[in-house]
Amino acid sequence: MEPKTILITRRLPGVPFEILSGRFRAGASPPDTAMSREEFLRRAAGAAGILCTLADRVDAVLLDAAGPGLKVVSNFAVGVNNIDIPEATRRGVRVCNTPDVLTDATADLGFALLLAAARRFSEAGRFLREGRWTGWDPWGLLGMPVAGKTLGIVGMGKIGSAAAQRARGFSMRVLYHARHPLSPERERELAASHRDLDALLSESDFVMLCVPLTVQTRGLISRERLARMKPTAVLVNIARGEVVDEGAMAEALSERRLFAAGLDVYEKEPQVHPGLLLAPSAVLLPHLGSATVEAREGMGRLATENLVAVLEGREPPCPVN
């Protein structure tokens, strides 16, 4: 029997291209940088399996370009907002993702951003490097305390729950908002109380966004909702940029209606809203949530297992549809 054709859109940690190309028809080695849309469309033609990243848009056009032989799209990410799931499902294409292996790395980064934004790390680092530090200053760069404050987590899935566990170490009170509230036992375990979103925003000193990007969560933190937050509050986004109105957030920061923001994700990556680049109180990272060797290798391993399982007619470990 002819080997099936696969497309791996980029060289990825934990994805053994040489081994896969011994079992499947894999074409040229994956490039070191993201594939252009044109190349993605061209190289998808005739593929039975695609292993791609969150930078690769899998929509009806791509699915048409791949053709009817496509069986699986295995995403090297837990978020699948780059993939049109209903369209894939309609065509009988399995979609898989890489949960769990990146939960701790992402929750750690959320906490790092929370602390860095509260204590003004970006501003302070720049101040020092620019040679403006003239000595210890009792008034200099005062930040917000973290211990004992209220953390509101929006989206209480695996990453949100891992953030709640970290918050205990800082003696924080934890509120959360989720479409489906946790069981009373799980709420007790995490010492977390459910709130509706508006109440969470107005009660919290820190708000951490951990929701997947869906039609329901796009624009969730709108201008009106930002206005509900305390002017002393810190907003952390480790979800997706499109969950927040970035322009409104940049304005709130520049007008000091929000104390600070810790951001890992942006609406139009890799572009960052100019208002955020100008805001000294914004700590900005280039989408590093899962960026540890361990997490990325785990993602590669899972993405490979998902791809191979479907192509061999088995149930994949992490199906989305």
> Catalytic residue numbers?
240, 269, 287
Which distant-in-sequence residues (6+ apart) come within 8 Å of 50 by Cβ?
6, 7, 8, 9, 44, 58, 66, 70, 72, 73, 74
The residue type of 42 is R
Find, among 214, 236, 242, the residue nearest to 152 by Cα: 236
CB of 96 to ligand DGY, least distance (A): 12
Counting contacts by CB under 6 A, is residue 77 touching ligand DGY? yes
Find, among 146, 190, 145, 201, the residue nearest to 168 by Cα: 190
Counting contacts by CB under 6 A, is residue 48 touching ligand DGY? no
Q: How far is CA 200 from CA 152, 176, 183, in A?
A: 6, 7, 19
Counting contacts by CB under 6 A, is residue 283 touching ligand DGY? no
Tally of residues, the chain: 321
Choose, by CB under 6 A, the member of 8, 52, 63, 78 that binds ligand DGY: 78
Token pair, residue 242, equals 């499109």
Counting contacts by CB under 6 A, is residue 290 touching ligand DGY? yes
Counting contacts by CB under 6 A, is residue 102 touching ligand DGY? yes
Site size toward ligand DGY (CB under 6 A) is 7
Our CB check for ligand DGY shows the closer of 49 and 298 to be: 298
Choose, by CB under 6 A, the member of 289, 298, 300, 316 that binds ligand DGY: 289
Our CB check for ligand DGY shows the closer of 100 and 251 to be: 100
Choose, by CB under 6 A, the member of 14, 30, 79, 298 that binds ligand DGY: 79
Choose, by CB under 6 A, the member of 12, 44, 47, 54 that binds ligand DGY: 54
**Starting at the edge strand that comes first in sequence, how are the strands of the sheet with 234-237 ordered?**
192-194, 173-177, 150-154, 206-209, 234-237, 260-263, 282-284
Task: Kindly list the residues in this chain that would bind ligand DGY in the complex (CB under 6 A).
Answer: 54, 77-79, 102, 289-290
